[in-house]
Amino acid sequence: MSDLPLENDYDVAIVGAGATGLTVACAMAMEDLKIICFDKMFGFDGQQKGDTRTIALLQNSIYLLENLGVWDECKPFAEPLNIMKVIDDTGRFPPVPDASFDASELGPDPFGYNIANDRLVSILAEHARNNPKITLLETDHVASIENHAKMAVVTPFEGQPVTALLVVGADGANSLARRAAKITTTDWKYNQTAMACWFSHSLPHNNISTEYHRKSGPLVLVPMRDNKSGLVWVETPDKANHLMALDDTDFKAQLSEATHGELGDLIDLSKRSAFPLSGLVANDFGKGRIVLVGHAAHVLPPIGAQGLNLGLRDAAMIADIACKANIRGMDPGGPEVIAKYDELRRSDILSRTFTVDFLNRSLIHGWFPPLQATRTIGVQLLKLIPPLRKAVMREGIAPQSNLPPSMLSR
C-alpha cells in the first residue's frame, strides 16, 4: 500500500457497464460523488454485436429511468406491455387454466415497456459519458480488486491502480468483485438452455406478453415496436442444440408450431443466441468496501421479467444509501452503508429467487400430481378473486416495500 496515493482517486468504482452498472453510475452522479466505471466497451456502435436480448422494464424501473432523465430517449424505442398472458402448455393433468392479467385493473399505466438491451445500454452509456462526474475507462478486463479497511483498489489490465471508497460489482455471474470480497454463493444448474432472438410477424401482438409454460420450461413472447416480438425459449440442452442448428426457415416453422401460430406468419428473424440456465444467489450482498448488484448478486431463470428489474432495484438502493451517507458527511463505502444495503435488499432478492426457482422447477417436475394440482388451484383463485389478483400483480410488477425514492413516481 505504500505506493498508493494517500487520498482516494474516486468515491465509487463500478466494475461492469451493463444496464445495472450504468444505472448505478447515473444515479450516484445525481449527488456530489466522483465515479469511475470499468468495462470493455460502453454502449454499442449501432451494430448488433450478437446481443439479441430484449428487456421488459416493469413500472418501478420506468420511474427510475424517468427520474434519471433517460426515459424520454428510451421511450421511442420501447413498446408498452398492457396484458400478460400465462398459458399452460404442458398437457398435464389436472390442466392449469390460462390466465390473463390486464394492467388496466391497476390503473392507467401499462405494466411496463419492452426495449432492446443494446438500445437501453447505449442510451445509459451516452448519459454517463456526458456527465462530468463520471469517468468511463475502457479496459480489456479488471485485473484485480483489493478490499482494504480505508479504501478499495481496482487495477485495470492495462493501467495504474485506482482507489475508491466503494466498489460496486456489476460484473456478472462470474464476478471478480464478489471473489475479491470473499463472498460465497449458493448456486445450482438446470438441465435447460435458453434461446433468445427477436422476429417480426404478420398478426399484431396487441401489446400482449405471452408466457407459455411447457414441460421443458417457459417460452416467452414479449412485444416490440414495429410489430416485432422478443423471444426467450427454454428447452432441454439437446433440443436447444437441434433448434440452434436449424436454418431460419426451419427454426421459424418450429417456433410457429410451439406458439400455435398465435402471431401469424413469422417473417424476419434476428441472429439467435443460446445460454445454459443456472441459478445463483450471493450469501452476502456486500462485504468490506464492495457491494454486489445485478447478476453478481443473483441469477434467475427468465420467468416473470424479474432478472434485470431486480438488478435495477439493487442499483437504485445502493445509490440511495451511498448518496445519503455522503450528504451527511459519512463514508459512502463505510460499514454502515454496506450493512444497510445488505439488509434492505435481502428479503426482495431471496423471495424473488425462491419464487422464480419454484415456478421453473414446477414446470420441469410438474408430473408430481400434488404440484400440478397446486398450480391449478393457485391460478383458479387468481382468476376468481379480483382483489387477490390485483395484489399479486402489484407485488410482481410494482413492489412498494423498501423502494428508494428514485423508483417511485414523482
The domain ranges of the chain are 10-79+117-187+280-367
Residue 288: predicted pLDDT: 97
DSSP assignment of 161-191 equals -EEEEEEEE-S-TT-HHHHHTT--EEEEEEE
DSSP assignment of 261-272 equals TTT-SEEEE---
Task: Find the mean pLDDT for residues 267-287.
Answer: 95
Residue of 3, 10, 4, 47 whose CA lies nearest to 29: 10
- Residue 235 parent element (H or E): strand 228-235
pLDDT digits (tens, 9 = 90+) for 9-33: 999 999 999 999 999 999 999 988 9
- pLDDT tops 60 at residue 2: no
Residue of 172, 207, 214 whose CA lies nearest to 307: 172
Query: Could you tell me the CA-to-CA distances from 253 to 261, 299, 398 in Å, in that order?
Result: 9, 31, 36
Work out the pLDDT band at 4, boundaries 50, 70, 90: very low
How far is the C-alpha of 27 from the C-alpha of 316, rounded, in Å?
Answer: 7
> Quick check: 42 and 128 in contact, CB under 8 A?
yes
> Quick check: 162 and 205 in contact, CB under 8 A?
no
With the CA atoms of 128, 134, 138 and 142 taken in that order, what torsion angle do they form, in degrees rounded to the nearest 10?
Answer: -120
> Quick check: 67 and 49 in contact, CB under 8 A?
no
Residue scoring higher pLDDT (165 or 101): 165
Average pLDDT for the chain: 88
Residue scoring higher pLDDT (114 or 6): 114
Helices (H), 221-274: 237-245, 248-258
Percent of the chain with pLDDT over 70: 86
CATH number of 10-79+117-187+280-367, picked from 3.50.50.60, 3.40.640.10, 3.10.450.50, 3.40.50.1100: 3.50.50.60
Helix (H, G, I), strand (E, B) or coil at 209: strand
How far is the C-alpha of 176 from the C-alpha of 165, rounded, in Å?
Answer: 17
How far is the C-alpha of 331 from the C-alpha of 339, rounded, in Å?
Answer: 13
Residue 6: predicted pLDDT: 41
| Among the ranges given (43-57, 125-139, 301-315), the one the predictor scored with the smallest mean pLDDT | 43-57
CB atoms within 10 A of CB 117: 18
Residue 210: predicted pLDDT: 93
Residue type at position 256: S
